[in-house]
Amino acid sequence: MSNREKEQTIALSAVFQAAELVANLAKTGQADKTYLQPLIDSVLMLNADQTEDIYGGQWDCQSNLAIGRKITKQALGKDRNSVNPDTLRYTLSLIHLENKLAKHPEMLSQIGQQITQIAGKKEHYDSVLHENIMASISGMYQDTLSKLPFRIQVHGDSRFLQQAHVANQVRAILMAGVRAAMLWRQLGGKRWHLIFKRKALLNALDSRS
């Protein structure tokens, strides 16, 4: 097991966590802020020395991504059937969408510029979960990723999904999931690893327990 695999599990856990939050939000209109905030923070993280720093640093990374780590273990292990099918679908969709994005450097540049602008505004609010920040990230998603041929279809309760603040949260979380999928790829992660490198990834997850 390499340090690279340990880093990959951080990114992969963040993808699964984003997928789980979207699945919950779409069906209940609620997302656990404990696990939502680190994901939104990661979108606006402009510089990080280590992978752990993107999700709160050495001491907080594990707790910040606890639900994502749990689901990743289930999905890669023998408990796969206990994972919400929507969570699995969103996870694979996020990885696929990021692969599409990687082929559009002009869109990546646009996203980078908008992230810098939004990050500059966050000091004016008491939390990155403020409606204005979430709406800005949601708008960035609409301006960019929503225009790619592949789109993630979110299914849930229309009573919630039709509410503007819920729709903004969904898109902001999807942006965080794509950010995590990009990190996963940059660290050498590939979709086929989810099938053929399960044992190595599970060992890396266990080593972080």
DSSP helix/strand/coil, 104? coil
Q: Taking the model in full, what pTM does it have?
A: 0.95
From CA 207, how far away is CA 209, in angstroms rounded? 6
Sign of the four-CA dihedral 12, 18, 23, 28? positive
pLDDT in tens, 100-120: 999 999 999 999 999 999 999
pLDDT of residue 209: 46
Mean pLDDT across the chain: 94
CA dihedral 22, 64, 84, 209 (to 10 degrees): 160
Contact of 177 with 38, CB cutoff 8 Å: no
Q: What are phi and psi of 113, to 5 degrees?
A: -65, -40
Q: How open is the CA angle 36-41-47, to the nearest 5 degrees?
A: 155
pLDDT per residue over 130-152, tens digit each? Answer: 999 999 999 999 999 999 999 99
Which sign does the torsion angle of CA 76, 81, 82, 88 carry?
positive
Burial of 152 (0-12, 13-18, 19+ CB in 10 A): buried
Q: Please say if the pLDDT value at position 208 is more than 80.
A: no
Going from N- to C-terminal start, the domains of the chain cover 3-206
For residue range 42-54, list pLDDT tens digits in order: 999 988 889 999 9
Q: How many residues does the chain have?
A: 209
The Cβ of residue 178 has, within 10 Å, a number of other Cβ atoms equal to 25
- Indicate the CATH number for domain 3-206: 1.10.3890.10
The rounded distance, in Å, linking the Cα atoms of 72 and 66 is: 10
